[in-house]
């Protein structure tokens, strides 16, 4: 069996031991004689699976006891609506509340645009003026803000918040889809954390929401049941059929993370991986990082030609794929290339990419010609 190094931004690669265990248990999970995909979500067979997954997540992230963990569907994109509905939604005839958003890229902007349907979403800072290549200074919240929303890691443009904003009593809300468990995080700093699983936790289709209990139960009465945190919390993520198989895979990934030493150990490894690639880009005569140094992501590393050449980019992506390094094309809104090096990407994968880039650069310098 040939395994490639998958640099996709999501759905991304999963740890091989997790895939192998899932394959071995496909038809008989935990000695039940059935697949997780066949289990009733309310059965005695599935209960230990979801409880184990939540317990591991609480342990690995240090989630305080006054926070609830929900396993939902709809991706992070649905949370763009659920957060304002539940924290700042207004009943008919009531004035709309305000919420602060920091615009640091495509997904941060989408969150604000969706939020604006339910609250007065104010963009308090933005890095759009320099193509989102930095994190802007975040102003203090206003006393009447319902919440303060940030995107700590920006998948498309490859930026990262090096320090969290201080929001006082205003709940800090964050989309951590592309950085969850990639480094240590103080959950108590936040009111709500949410993450689509398909980057660092598991397969697409499951969304993890971590919410402080005092923020539950604030949705206006007209809020649809499926969009209410209080209903999902009361029903232990089982108001309807949850994404059972995704929850099971997340549990296996969390066991793998635990075996690796937890978020602290992964953070050290992730810093090493990112440093390898950035070090090459700093000295390369063919490629460069478009992101300002203090704000560079450890998870998503875009790079472009020193002299922009779309045809050369296509050739690089094609030849990299032939060498077993796949999904390196940059986002369609940005162009160039991008290497997503999430937790499951081994250091050997980054070393293989750097070696290929060095060889590609040498071929270019020997005159294979641009776009030919």
Catalytic, out of 107, 161, 273, 313 = 107
For the record, the structure tokens of 106 come out as 């495509």
Nearest Cα neighbor of 111 from 156, 150, 72 is 150
CB atoms within 10 A of CB 79: 26
- In the beta sheet, which residues pair with residue 292? none
Q: pTM, whole model, 2 decimals?
A: 0.95
Listed range (12-21, 85-94, 129-138, 163-172) with the worst mean pLDDT: 85-94
**Over residues 143-171, mean pLDDT:** 96
Predicted confidence band at 10 (pLDDT cuts at 50, 70, 90)?
A: very high
Quote the CA–CA distance of 323 and 320 in Å, as a whole number.
5
Question: In the prediction, which pLDDT does 93 show?
Answer: 61
Question: In the prediction, which pLDDT does 370 show?
Answer: 46
- In the beta sheet, which residues pair with residue 347? none
Sign for the pseudo-dihedral over CA of 270, 171, 67, 220:
negative
How big is the chain by its Cα radius of gyration, in Å?
A: 21
Nearest Cα neighbor of 174 from 101, 85, 254 is 101
Question: In the prediction, which pLDDT does 100 show?
Answer: 98
Model pLDDT for residues 275-327, shown as the tens digit of each residue: 999 999 999 999 999 999 999 999 999 999 998 889 999 999 999 999 999 99
Residue 372 in this model has a pLDDT that exceeds 70: no
Residue 174 in this model has a pLDDT that exceeds 50: yes
Model pLDDT for residues 222-243, shown as the tens digit of each residue: 999 999 999 999 999 999 999 9
- In the beta sheet, which residues pair with residue 296? 159
For the record, the structure tokens of 43 come out as 């059965």
Question: In the prediction, which pLDDT does 321 show?
Answer: 97
**Over residues 122-129, mean pLDDT:** 97
Provide the 3-class DSSP secondary structure of residue 35: coil
In the chain, % of residues over pLDDT 90: 91
Model pLDDT for residues 179-191, shown as the tens digit of each residue: 999 999 999 999 9
Predicted confidence band at 332 (pLDDT cuts at 50, 70, 90)?
A: confident
Instruction: Calculate the average pLDDT of the chain.
Output: 95
Question: In the prediction, which pLDDT does 320 show?
Answer: 97
Give CA torsion, residues 37, 42, 46, 47, to 10 deg.
160
Question: In the prediction, which pLDDT does 30 show?
Answer: 93
Q: Tell me the domains of the chain and their CATH numbers.
A: 16-259 (3.40.640.10), 262-365 (3.90.1150.10)
Catalytic, out of 103, 161, 199, 273 = 199
Question: In the prediction, which pLDDT does 92 show?
Answer: 60
Asked about 256 being catalytic, the answer comes back as no
Residue 371 in this model has a pLDDT that exceeds 80: no
Please tell me the number of Cα atoms within 13 Å of 95 on its side-chain side: 4
Quote the CA–CA distance of 278 and 295 in Å, as a whole number.
12
Strand 337-340 versus strand 300-305 pairing type = antiparallel
One-letter-per-residue 3-state SS of 63-127: CCCCEEEEEECCHHHHHHHHHHHHHHCCCCCCCCCEEEEEECCHHHHHHHHHHCCCCEEEEEEEC
Asked about 199 being catalytic, the answer comes back as yes
Give CA torsion, residues 238, 244, 250, 256, to 10 deg.
120
**Over residues 105-132, mean pLDDT:** 96
Catalytic, out of 161, 175, 273, 313 = 175
Listed range (39-48, 83-92, 301-310) with the worst mean pLDDT: 83-92
């Amino acid at each position: 069996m040939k395994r490639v190094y998958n640099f996709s931004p999501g759905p991304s690669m999963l740890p091989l031991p997790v895939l192998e265990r899932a394959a071995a248990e496909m038809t008989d999970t935990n000695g039940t004689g059935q697949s997780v995909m066949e289990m009733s979500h309310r059965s005695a067979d599935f209960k230990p699976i979801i409880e184990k997954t939540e317990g591991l997540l609480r342990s690995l992230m240090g989630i305080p006891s006054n926070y609830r963990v929900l396993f939902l569907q709809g991706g992070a994109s649905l949370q763009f609506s659920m957060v304002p509905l539940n924290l700042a939604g207004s009943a008919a005839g009531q004035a709309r509340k305000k919420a602060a958003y920091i615009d640091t890229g495509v997904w941060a902007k989408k969150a604000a645009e969706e939020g604006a349907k339910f609250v007065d979403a104010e963009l308090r800072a933005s890095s759009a003026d320099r193509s989102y290549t930095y994190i802007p200074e975040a102003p203090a919240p206003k006393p009447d803000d319902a919440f303060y929303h940030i995107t700590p890691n920006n998948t498309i443009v490859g930026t990262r918040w090096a320090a969290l904003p201080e929001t006082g009593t205003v709940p800090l809300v964050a989309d951590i889809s592309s950085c969850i468990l990639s480094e240590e995080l103080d959950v108590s700093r936040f009111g709500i954390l949410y993450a689509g699983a398909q980057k660092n936790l598991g397969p697409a289709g499951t969304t993890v929401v971590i919410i402080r209990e005092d923020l539950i139960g604030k949705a206006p009465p007209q809020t649809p049941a499926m969009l209410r945190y209080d209903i999902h919390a009361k029903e232990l993520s089982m108001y309807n059929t949850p994404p059972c198989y995704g929850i099971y895979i997340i549990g296996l990934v969390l066991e793998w993370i635990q075996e690796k030493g937890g978020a602290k150990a992964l953070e050290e490894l992730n810093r090493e991986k990112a440093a390898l690639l950035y070090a090459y880009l700093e000295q390369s005569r063919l490629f460069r990082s478009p992101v300002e140094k203090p704000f560079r992501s450890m998870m998503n590393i875009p790079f472009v030609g020193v002299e922009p050449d779309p045809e050369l980019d296509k050739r690089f992506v094609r030849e990299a794929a032939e060498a077993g390094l796949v999904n390196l094309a940059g986002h369609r809104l940005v162009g160039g290339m991008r290497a997503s090096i999430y937790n499951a990407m081994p250091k050997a994968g980054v070393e293989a990419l750097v070696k290929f880039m060095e060889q590609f650069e040498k071929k270019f310098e020997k005159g294979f010609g641009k776009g030919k």
